[in-house]
Structure 1
Amino acid sequence: MAKGKQSRAVSGGGAQVFDRTPPHSTEAERSVLGAMLLNPDAVAAAVEILGEDLDTFYVEAHRHVYEAVLELFRRNIPVDPTTLVEQLNRLEALDAAGGPAYIADLAGAVPTSANVEHYARIVLDAALLRRLIAACTQVVGEAYHAEGDVDTLLDNAEAQIFAIAERKQFNPIYKVSTLLEAGIHRIEAQIRSSTGITGVASGIPELDNLLSGFQPSDMVVLAARPSVGKTALALNIAAHVANHLNRGVLMFTIEMSKEQLVQRLLCMVGQVDSQRLRTGYLAGKEFTKIQKAADIL
């Protein structure tokens, strides 16, 4: 990341309060653009990470170059120095991008496109830092001049930070050949399975026969009328997965407190009437069952 004393307005809004150059890496920007000029596959990989926000690039010339690359990519035109110069001419941005000589220089910035994703992440990280600085600067200004509800100010600050954090998340691009290979491996595993359960078993044979266990990326919804045992069923499955399969389980609920949730688990595993536990009318043997259930859990 470049450092120095030069001032520059931070991309993304907010007042300039620090007499410092915002975070950026000129070399990483040159490298990612150069890699895209070397290999068509590198364009898709880089765009997947960088997105379509031109301000992701710090250097103005690089923004113009990336804008032209995006336009070629959308039109399914191969990106190379010739097509890029032509597109920049169409956008009337060739001079702003440094001219044909600079485009040729970018094409030789890296010997290979193999590290394009690494370069793209460096560029994105620097852009996110600039946006974070801008957001925090704005929050500081609003805090000094706050006239409304503090909770609203906190909510706005939180929303801005979360929006920046979400930009780090992206779904990678996969080649069909890679997916086919993984698919064959899954089919082989299913053939070798002696139980027919290829996912995480629920402990309920009828359900496992239908689903072959809970599969990765599946969202399973338990739907029923109120007070018919949805939470009890979910707890039963969670306890089975944790205790019998030794798998981690995380449970969220907006209906029950953590104390109520634990009591239900203790009663279920210890096979003790929950009403007797709530009222405290437990026999000695029942309390022993509760203690044993706690040890199991």
Structure 2
Amino acid sequence: MHQKIFNAIENLIYKGMLANPITLKNYFENEKDDINIPEYLVKITKFSTSSRQAIEYSKIIYDMFVRRELIKISENTIDTAKLNDLNISGQNIIENSERLLFDLAEKGSFNSSLVKFDEALKFTIEMASNAYKNEEGIVGVPTGLTDLDDRLGGLHKSDLIIIAGRPSMGKTALATNIAFHAAKKLQEKGKKSSIAFFSLEMSSEQLSTRILSEQSKIKSNDIRRGRISDEQFDKFIETSKNISELPLYIDETPAISIAAVSNRARRIKRLFGLDMVVVDYIQLMSGTTFNKDNRVQEISQITQGLKAIAKELSVPVLALSQLSRQV
């Protein structure tokens, strides 16, 4: 019965009419039913309270909903943890629970994604003001590449930037240099923030070797084989000391899912602040669906997920993409 009444209220409001005991009575008057809804409406109206408290009551209802959902998530986490499923690791369970909890926290936050035009204008004016005050004219995250920064003004918040190329074209080297330069700028400004680098192809050791090689001007191959002089070794150590405190975090998890990237990026932002996310590279990521047959659909889902991260965390996401050698 309550469901019928609620549906009637929805229909009346949708038609632009008032939903009150009188309009509802007319709505149900011609309905032939064993339950006398008009009579029931009169009865519940006697026990109704003032609409002034409606917002407070709605908060109580929503809070109870959140609590019920929390119980469901907790029970699901416990049940999954008890399963002896070798395909689901403890880390997978944590990340799935984090995702469900975050989705629950985001429910009811409709107003946060609905921005009035005058508010949007304030953001635009603030951006223009920052650009005006900045002598370099860079309002986004600087790449360290002068021509690119002149043309783009840096990498901007909420943007998904994809660098695509065939194998061995220098995509990782470019992304590493951009991430390093961005982290260095943060350090120079004394800004409490960081750069997150999700490296699915290379280990953190390989990436740090690349950066050290670039900064010390010593070939990485010589570093790995120990073919360096005493002077070069001293320079190598000195360079490592100078850049060791850079706010650059490397996640080297192989075949990481888009859900895991999202969860970890949120965590980094919460703990250290976040200015940019780098992903190397898209084709080595896994989607969140269990249907692995359609790889094209999975890549599309991953790309959508990366764009969602950029918008949600208000940071640029720089993602590398591997093209076929025939392209």
Please, what TM-score do these two structures have when normalized by structure 1?
Answer: 0.60
Q: Conserved in 2, the CA contact under 8 Å of 1:272 and 1:289? A: no
Cα distance in 2 between the residues matched to 1:294 and 1:101: 77
Instruction: Give 1:157 deviation, angstroms.
Output: 8.5
> For structure 1, which runs of at least 5 residues remain unmatched after alignment?
1-59
Query: Alpha-carbon deviations, 1:260-294, whole Å to 9, x = none?
Result: 11111111111110010111112112211211221
Q: Conserved in 1, the CA contact under 8 Å of 2:209 and 2:220? A: yes
* Matching residue of 1:287: 233
* Matching residue of 1:239: 180
Cα distance in 2 between the residues matched to 1:217 and 1:263: 30
1:18-97 residue pairs with structure 2 within 5 A? 75=14, 77=16, 81=20, 85=24, 95=40
1:210-289 residue pairs with structure 2 within 5 A? 210-246=151-187, 248-289=194-235
1:71-220 residue pairs with structure 2 within 5 A? 75=14, 77=16, 81=20, 85=24, 95=40, 99-102=44-47, 104-109=48-53, 120=59, 123-137=61-75, 140=78, 149-152=85-88, 159=96, 162-169=99-106, 170=109, 172=112, 173-220=114-161
Instruction: Output the amino acid matched with 1:201.
Output: P
| Structure 1 residues 70 and 265: alpha-carbon distance in aligned structure 2, compared to 1, 3 A threshold | farther
Q: Conserved in 2, the CA contact under 8 Å of 1:266 and 1:294? A: yes
Matched residue pairs, number? 227
Cα distance in 2 between the residues matched to 1:195 and 1:161: 40
> For structure 2, which runs of at least 5 residues remain unmatched after alignment?
188-192, 244-327
Query: Could you tell me the percent identity over the aligned residues?
Result: 24
CA RMSD across the alignment:
4.1
DSSP-derived class of the 1:228 partner:
coil
Cα distance in 2 between the residues matched to 1:214 and 1:125: 39
Instruction: Give 1:64 deviation, angstroms.
Output: 7.8
| Structure 1 residues 142 and 215: alpha-carbon distance in aligned structure 2, compared to 1, 3 A threshold | closer
Cα distance in 2 between the residues matched to 1:258 and 1:87: 70
Cα distance in 2 between the residues matched to 1:136 and 1:221: 37
Please, what TM-score do these two structures have when normalized by structure 2?
Answer: 0.55
| Structure 1 residues 232 and 152: alpha-carbon distance in aligned structure 2, compared to 1, 3 A threshold | closer
Q: Conserved in 2, the CA contact under 8 Å of 1:64 and 1:96? A: no
Mean CA deviation greater in 228-237 or 242-251: 242-251
Mean CA deviation greater in 134-143 or 202-211: 134-143
Select the structure with the greater relative contact order (CA < 8 A; seq sep ≥ 6): 2
DSSP-derived class of the 2:169 partner:
coil
